[in-house]
Every structure is written in C-alpha cells, then in structure tokens.
Amino acid sequence: MGRSSKKTNIKKRSRGANPLILFLSGGLLAGLFYLPLSFLDRTEYIYSFFFRAWQIQGLNTCLFFVAIIAIIARNNQLRSEARVLELKIEDLPTISDGAAKKLLDTIPEELRETSCFRRLSELLRGYLHKEEVMTLNEELARRDRDEIDSGHLLLNSLRQIIPVLGFLGTVLGLSLGMVKFPEFVAASSSVESLRSILKDFAASLSVAFDTTLLALGYTIVIVLLASLLRRKEESMVAEVDEKARELIKKLKFRSELEYAGRPEENLEKWLDKWESRFSSVMQKFLDQLAT
C-alpha cells in the first residue's frame, strides 16, 4: 500500500500552458505587431526590414511572442506558488494524524497542484499512509527539479529554432542574389548600369542579413528572460526544500513515538531487562566463587 501510494504521490503533473494556445496567441500578437508596420512608407528601412523577407521575419516574430507569453505565464504561476513561503511551519507543534488531516484540508483548492503546496500536501499524505517521509521528500525534490527542466524544453527549442530560421533566410537571400547576379552583369551595357546592378545587389544582401539580425536579437532577449526565470524557479524549489525539512522535523518525532511506543515505557522495559540480566550474571559469578 505504501509503495503504490508513493508512486501516486510522485507522479508528474503537467502544469505548463497549452502549446496550442501559446502558438495561437503568439500568431495573434505577431499579426497585431505587423499591422501598424504595414502603414509605413515602403521606402523606409523599418518597412523593408520586416517585409522584404516577411515569411521568415513574421515566423520568427510569432515564435518570439510565443516564448515571451510562456515566460510571462510561468512567472505569474510562480507568484502564486511563492505563497508557501508565508507558512510558519517552524511554529507548528508536533503533528498528529488529526493535525495532518487538518493541514491538508486548509490548503486552498486552487493551489494544491502547484509545486510548493503539492510538496507539503504529499508529505502529509505520505505520513498518514505510514511512508518513509525522508525518502519520499528526496524523490519529490528530484521531481520538482526535473519539472523545471521539462518546463524549459519549449523555450530551449525556440531559442534554437529562431536563429536557424534567421540564418536560413540569409542563405536563401544570398543564394537568390548570386543566381541572378551573373545574368544582370552580362546584360549590363555600361559602367553606370553595372554600378546600378551592384548597388541593388548590395541592397539585397543587406536585406538577406536582416533575417539573421532580427533572429539574434530575439534570441538574446529569450535567453536573458529564460535565465532569470530559471534562477527564480530554482530559488523557489530551494525554499520549498527548506519548508519540507521543517515539516519533516515535526512529523519525525511523532513517527518515532508511533513505531517505538512511549519513551517512558521503553525505558522501563529496558531497565527491567538490564536488571534481570545483571542479576543472572552476578548470581553465576557468586556461584563460581562459592565453588
């Protein structure tokens, strides 16, 4: 029973935002971002920067907003989970079965699936099921750290895909420019026309590199924000570990009483046993002296 309950306690739960909702929201924000840009003069650099290779730039902008939404959503969730730090577990008396059940009932329903309150509730539940709470806490701590890694899988993927797409746009732009360049040079009839061709070619090259420039800018922002988020998550898990250890101190004393019996009764039994053995040994020693 204890083993099956432990497996249930350490079962992972997905708390991240729905990927479909994230991508739909990112696409919507990218569309809203491009809408005012479409009213700019086409001769302006900002217009050409986003629209000359709009397929790549638009896709990277969408993925960038997906990453930003995911970071904001996780950060807001951490704020609610941080409420566990308000618990004064060190002020609690020794926790009995009734107190453990009462503590479980006082945890808000909307926060029971957060990593903070979930750790404490599963420790209390394991305590009520006669599990080894120290071992259980170690497994729960590993689970929480694994969930941090799994929660960053999407962000890690996006910050790798975005620069790849930007570089792909640059390669395609260079490839198309180099294919047409010999034809334009062969068709030029004067030095002035050749200068015009070279000028247009240089402009096309600058547009090709714009995709990589935007992708690198997006990637830098994502990396910085994701690093700050991860540091905040790891700090929160460390705080939860401290609260869990404080809770275990309250449960450990009670568990020792339950499995070992009352201390004064054990002491009396030990003294009786020691007195009986001592008397027997002394009697044998006296008998040997008498003989």
Domain boundaries, the chain: 2-260, 267-291
Tell me the average pLDDT across 102-114.
70
Tell me the average pLDDT across 213-226.
94
Across all residues in the chain, what is the average pLDDT? 75
pLDDT for residue 169: 84
Tell me the average pLDDT across 207-212.
81
Q: Where would I find the H helices in the chain? A: 2-9, 19-37, 45-51, 54-81, 97-106, 115-128, 133-151, 153-187, 191-260, 263-290
113: phi then psi, degrees, rounded to nearest 5: -100, 5
Residue 56: pLDDT over 60:
yes
Q: Are 166 and 60 in contact (CB under 8 A)?
A: yes
Q: Are 66 and 60 in contact (CB under 8 A)?
A: no
pLDDT for residue 122: 86
Of 72, 66, 33, 69, whose CA–CA distance to 51 is shortest?
Answer: 33
Q: How far is CA 26 from CA 17, 20, 21, 148, 213, in A?
A: 13, 10, 8, 22, 20
Of 47, 49, 33, 51, whose CA–CA distance to 212 is shortest?
Answer: 49
- Which of residues 180 and 251 earns the better pLDDT score? 251
- Which of residues 190 and 46 earns the better pLDDT score? 46
Residue 265: pLDDT over 50:
no
Percentage of the chain exceeding pLDDT 90: 20
Percentage of the chain exceeding pLDDT 70: 62
For the ranges 222-226, 238-242, 284-288, the one whose mean pLDDT is highest? 222-226
Residue 100: pLDDT over 80:
no
pLDDT for residue 61: 95
* Number of C-beta neighbours around residue 53 at 10 A: 21
Determine the Cα–Cα distance for residues 291 and 287; give it in Å rounded to an integer: 6
What is residue 190's three-state secondary structure? coil
- Which of residues 135 and 217 earns the better pLDDT score? 217
Of 81, 99, 82, whose CA–CA distance to 91 is shortest?
Answer: 99
Q: pLDDT by residue (tens digit) across 150-206?
A: 888 889 999 999 999 998 888 877 776 666 666 655 666 566 666 666 666 666 666
Determine the Cα–Cα distance for residues 168 and 159; give it in Å rounded to an integer: 15
pLDDT for residue 204: 65
156: phi then psi, degrees, rounded to nearest 5: -65, -40
Residue 288: pLDDT over 70:
no
The backbone region for 17, taken as left when phi is positive above 0, alpha when psi lies in -120 to 50, beta otherwise, is: beta
Residue 226: pLDDT over 90:
yes
DSSP letters for 30-68: HHHHHHHHTTS-TTSHHHHHHHTTHHHHHHHHHHHHHHH
For the ranges 44-58, 81-95, 154-168, 184-198, the one whose mean pLDDT is highest? 154-168
Q: What is the pTM of this model?
A: 0.70
Residue 35: pLDDT over 50:
yes
129: phi then psi, degrees, rounded to nearest 5: -95, 15
**HSE of 100, CA atoms in CB hemisphere, 13 A:** 22
**HSE of 94, CA atoms in CB hemisphere, 13 A:** 8
pLDDT for residue 218: 95
pLDDT for residue 258: 46
- Which of residues 157 and 242 earns the better pLDDT score? 157
Q: How far is CA 49 from CA 29, 33, 59, 106, 231, in A?
A: 18, 14, 14, 56, 34
Residue 238: pLDDT over 90:
no
Residue 164 identity = V
